[in-house]
Homo-oligomer: A and B are copies of this chain.
Amino acid sequence: MSGRSAGGRPSQRADARRNATRITEAARTTFASQGPEASLIEIARTAGVGSATLYRHFPTREALLAAVYQQQIEELAAGARTELTESASPWEALVTWLHAVAFHLATHRGLKGLLISRYEDQAELFTQCRRTLCEAATELLTAAQDCGAVRRDVDAYRMLKMVSAVVLANEQSGDDDEIDLLLGLVIDGLRRHDDPRSEAATP
């Protein structure tokens, strides 16, 4: 399959991609400030496209909300790679990123909840997003394990589950400091400690 056969000249398709991104970004800001019932016409206007263009890319409000959710997850995953490059050590990269994940989950639970409660058939979106996040987490975790900072018997899936557990436990209070504190406890649980006395004490 050549790119052209998919429809339109390359520059047209690049334009379309740019528009889609612009719309998703406008939607993100607008949904964040005005809630999920924000006017789609206003989103189109903010994105600098016509309503027809918005509806061509996102035929329903659900599609637009799902795109916003997916974009956030992809950014979060991309952040893992950035941390790994820029942090002083894989351990620091992991710690920083896990706090970012917790912050994301605490801030955007509403959107996920909305997608689950209002729309059916988002299973594929969530599976895809979970995979994206797990891949990013695995990369960071493996690096931290390889340098001896993190125990080997934890996988990325469980590590993320613990982060999500901490956020869930603080859902009602929404207290960021408390989330950070409990997450610190989880992170300490991930560390590799070579203390044979403690190992022996584990039942």
Contact = CB atoms under 8 A, between A and B. Distances in A.
A37 interface: no
Interface string A137-170: 0000000000001000010001001101110111
A201 interface: yes
A136 interface: no
Nearest to A95: B203
A202 B170 CA distance: 23
Given A91-B201, A203-B96, A185 B166 contact: no
Interface string A160-203: 01101110111000000000011011111111011100100111
Nearest to A169: B165
Give the interface size bracket for A toward B: 20 to 34
A92 B165 contact: no
A182 B169 contact: no
Contacts of A71: none
Contacts of A182: 158, 161-162, 165
Interface of A: 89, 91-92, 95-96, 149, 154, 158, 161-162, 164-166, 168-170, 181-182, 184-191, 193-195, 198, 201-203
Q: Which 7 A-B pairs have the closest CB atoms?
A: A189-B189, A165-B169, A165-B165, A188-B189, A185-B189, A193-B193, A168-B168
